[in-house]
Chain A
Amino acid sequence: MVKKWRPGLSLLFLMLMLAGCGEPYLSTLRPAGEVAERQYQLLLLSTGIMVFVISVVVIIFIIVLIRFRRTKGKEDYIPEQVAGSHKLEIIWTTIPVILLLILAVPTLAATFELGDLEEMEKVDKDGNRESLVVNVRANLYWWEFEYPDLGIITSQDLVVPTDEKVFFNLKASDVKHSFWVPAAGGKIDTNTDNENSFYLVFDNDKANEAGNIFYGKCAELCGPSHAYMDFKVKALPRDEFDQWVKAMQEASEVKPVSEKAKRGEEIFREKNCLACHAVSPNDPRPENARTAPNLADFGNRTRVAGYLEFNEENIKEWIRYPEKFKPGNLMYEKADLTEEELDLLTEYLINLKVTE
């Protein structure tokens, strides 16, 4: 019977080997930064110990099955009724305890080291914070990223510098979500009650390997569109990141580039989109007034609605019928717009660019 399923298992292993370890922009098995790397090391250590345990059990198991099966001629054999063995019991109590100690020490070390946020508060002599801090706000199916020290707000696409600790303060504005960039490190919940903090590091070489875009996910069930609550992380070298920050900070009112876009802007105002969507990266409104994604630099987004390919057609479809793509989203179910109005709006939005 054991022989029956062992080939099945090895076949499975083979298939998984072929499938690789997942994609570099998504998989925890291809760690792209200090935090993920640390967690990956713990994964390897614990898997090693556990495979050892499984092997011991399976070896005894197989020996038992081979040696002690009831065979012909042994039908009436009554084995000795052994009550137990103190020696054996001590062995299989002590060895697991030792194995667990081997696992517990690095666990505790990593818990405190990865949870150490002292650097977050460090300031230079002018009282400016030394590290980058991003305030993450999770909302029903979209993400807001505020850089409080830089005066910038973006949505859906998080931009971070590589090779340094990026600190996050996270919370949710409606229901509980969870912020997860698997390749860069573990998740942390965004609660409605309090703010959580942690940090991630994005490795520059690994970022290049992943095309400078990492996938982010919502990891806590939050409603029908939970599966679509994706975001992207653009990891840029520090100098490019600084350029982006500068451009965002200096961005003034975007001037429509064409007649079409100008008419699109009028529709954007007429239809009251502006009441929720800001189009400038320095939105002065308080956060509870920011009820929809910030659209500054929308033209440079990696995706439409967080997960659809970025193209004109998808923007139009999304504006026309958001319920189809993200059921339960809080924009509206279906737009009351003519085909021409949709065209113009799309033209306006796709040209909202802070950087080239």
Chain B
Amino acid sequence: MSTVASKKGIGAFIWEYLTTVDHKKIAHLYLAAGGFFFLLGGLEAMFIRIQLMKPQNDFISEQLFNEVMTMHGTTMIFLAAMPLLFAYMNAVVPLQIGARDVAFPFMNALGFWLFFLGGIFLNLSWFLGGAPDAGWTSYASLSMRSEGHGIDFYLLGVQISGFGTLMSGINFLATIINMRAPGMSFMRMPMFTWTTFVASSLILLAFPPLTISVFLLMFDRLFGSKFFDVAMGGNTIIWEHFFWIFGHPEVYILILPAFGIFSEIVPTFSRKRLFGYSSMVFATILIGFLGFMVWAHHMFTTGLGNVANAIFAVATMAIAVPTGIKIFNWLFTMWGGNIKITVPMLWALGFIPSFVIGGVTGIMQAVAPLDYQLHDTYFIVAHFHYVIVGGVVFALFAAAHFYWPKMFGTQLSEKLGYWTFIFFFPGFHLTFFVQHFLGLMGMPRRVATFLPGQGLDAGNYISSIGAFLMFIGVVLLLINIVVTSVKNKKVANDPWGDGRTMEWALPSPPPYYNFKQTPLVRGLDTWWLEKMEGNKELPPAEPLKDIHMPNNSILPFIISSGLFIAAFGAMYSPLNVVGDGKPWGVPVLILGLGIMFGTMLLRSLLDDYGYYIPKEDLVDDEGKGGRAG
């Protein structure tokens, strides 16, 4: 992708990506790693649907099913959906606000490597004695009893990648608050930047509860503490609270950036500004706020009492209002517009009815007494797949097509893109619509198999067929990516023709310093505004001068590797409840932590001032696509 690297060969190419602190290259890394985990999670989903294709199927054993099911959820949430969103945030947000990079480029790289090595650690469980098997929620009583090291892999893997996520969240907050170009007030920020901002605040507030609860469970399992041991005065309900205080905002961490992506795509291809921008911003903030008030709706049947159930039922229903505002704003953005149905727009159009179905079934579950029937059944499985696939995954596909030119300088094939949609969209509805009814007809979720004669055979069969269609859709997308990359046909700054925000004013892909001169922002939809006035580039806010850039660094990778090594030591410490402690456990733990803290010390002691691009070089870039606008 980088022309500099490709000239130097494969070794330099790898070294460049190992050491990069450029937000655009980190975006590539997130996209590749998140995409890889997405495929893994997808394969796991196929295993689940093949196993449940017919009653009493023996495609995989019950234990393996639980592992596959757990890893599907954990992988999709922590290792696929979030990192893929980070890919687009990294690629786009700094460009949208007119910044040269994120606020903390070094920490950005560190966040990626922590996430990636945490994810690799989690998946190594397949080869080292079995994957976690207590569901992605890992409820304490079951996870404490789980044999082998599966749960330990879950705890350490999620912990490490969670650190990475937390860092990225903080980084985006600092970036959006501090790095906006002159004139880019909060109320002129593009919606994707806004949703990234709110989602990052949610990360900041929601990940610490996860970190803490995972820490407690980790200590129970690895060092024999008793936080969740009821016989010793511990309490397992606390885990449920902790987990959902994280887990519910987590859903909004995923869906808000997805809303942001659609809020960019819909106006672009309707050629009309976003309807009710300020109410969209308000709704986003409100959803983020209410997201913290509703966690106990995951626990209606835990037995919290009537008053708690009543309060959380009403609070949950309240979220429907700002979400509804968003849906109607998108519809009325299109109303009166000039709609071009490109592949990104097609996904946005598919998203609206799909997400509405997923949203309203969520309100049905807010009806606490009714939720006694729906909870932990396939109705729930249907609901959250409508929200997460119909919302987040559709957004990821849409963004892949929409931002591919900006990230790689070439455009994914529209034709193959339509074919992906033609398989994936009906496949998705076929898979999950029928699951509402399976749940209502009495099928609990997370069952490794089901018995014949319960009226569940036909529904499960239909659902599995749908899964195969989705699978074909994803394969077509992969083919599309390969074919497009091989052809590598370069595109111009604004390949969609109707780009509205600043990233479309830059070359595709932008030069490594993004903006030669920091742009002056004169209003919402900055680039559209300039285009309408006949300007060919953004007005500069500063004279042409030397640009300060950070140096590449291998240290983020080494710090993350230290933690990765320490995780093995912690897992095989002689105190672990599995009872297979190794004498090398503690030394490896100390070694890993030593590498990590040593490298951090090095980073603190060694001054790295970065470097300057002299303005003469910038003038030389003129005409090579390195223009400010």
Contacts and interface: CB of A to CB of B under 8 A. Distances in A.
A12 B62 contact: no
B446 interface: yes
A53 B309 CA distance: 25
B279 A226 contact: no
Determine the interface band of chain B, counting residues with CB < 8 A from chain A: 35 or more
B301 A187 contact: yes
Interface stretch (A56-64, A121-129, A335-343): A56-64
Nearest to B497: A75
A27 B446 CA distance: 18
B455 A20 contact: yes
A64 B327 CA distance: 13
A218 interface: yes
Interface string A92-135: 11001100100110011011101110000000000000000000
A166 interface: no
Contact of B455 (A19, A84, A92, A172): A19
A289 interface: no
Nearest to B324: A96
A43 interface: yes
A111 B477 CA distance: 47
Interface string A266-309: 00000000000000000000000000000000000000000100
A174 B139 CA distance: 13
Nearest to A41: B370
B236 A192 contact: yes
B375 interface: yes
B263 to A, nearest CB: 13
A57 B327 CA distance: 8
B619 interface: no
A285 B368 CA distance: 38
A254 interface: no
B454 interface: yes
Given A46-B363, A219-B375, A97 B236 contact: no
Interface residues of A, number: 97
B278 A84 contact: yes
Contact of B318 (A100, A220, A224): A100
B141 A85 contact: no
A115 B339 contact: no
Interface in B417-434: 422, 425-426, 429-430, 433-434
A196 interface: yes
A92 B325 CA distance: 6
Interface stretch (B248-256, B288-296, B354-362): B354-362
Given A221-B66, A328-B63, A68 B451 contact: no
Interface in A168-189: 172, 174-176, 178, 180, 182-183, 185-189
A226 B441 CA distance: 18
Nearest to B441: A22
Contact of B462 (A15, A194, A328): A15
Given A80-B336, A96-B320, A186-B372, A227 B301 contact: no
Contacts of A111: 306, 309-310, 313, 368-369
A43 B279 contact: no
Contacts of A224: 61-63, 65-66, 133, 448
Contacts of A42: 367, 369-370
B52 to A, nearest CB: 10
Given A68-B338, A110-B369, A185-B373, A88 B448 contact: no
B145 interface: yes
A1 B422 CA distance: 9
A111 B368 CA distance: 7
A65 interface: yes
Interface string B366-387: 1111111101110000000000
A96 B283 CA distance: 14
B32 interface: no
Interface string B323-339: 01101110110111111
B307 to A, nearest CB: 9
Given A29-B441, A189-B303, A220 B376 contact: yes
Interface in B110-156: 133-135, 139, 141-142, 145
Given A1-B350, A46-B367, A227-B62, 14 more contacts: A5-B426, A12-B462, A29-B441, A43-B364, A43-B440, A57-B352, A78-B271, A84-B276, A107-B366, A112-B306, A182-B373, A188-B372, A191-B236, A223-B145
Interface of B: 61-63, 65-66, 133-135, 139, 141-142, 145, 230, 235-237, 270-273, 275-279, 301-303, 305-306, 309-310, 313-314, 317-318, 320-321, 324-325, 327-329, 331-332, 334-341, 346, 349-350, 352-353, 356-357, 360-361, 363-364, 366-373, 375-377, 422, 425-426, 429-430, 433-434, 437, 440-442, 444-451, 453-456, 458-459, 462
16 contacts: A8-B429, A8-B430, A12-B430, A15-B434, A39-B373, A43-B370, A68-B338, A69-B339, A93-B325, A107-B368, A110-B367, A114-B369, A187-B301, A221-B142, A223-B142, A227-B449
> Which 7 A/B pairs are nearest by Cβ-Cβ distance?
A186-B372, A22-B441, A50-B360, A84-B276, A196-B303, A227-B447, A26-B442
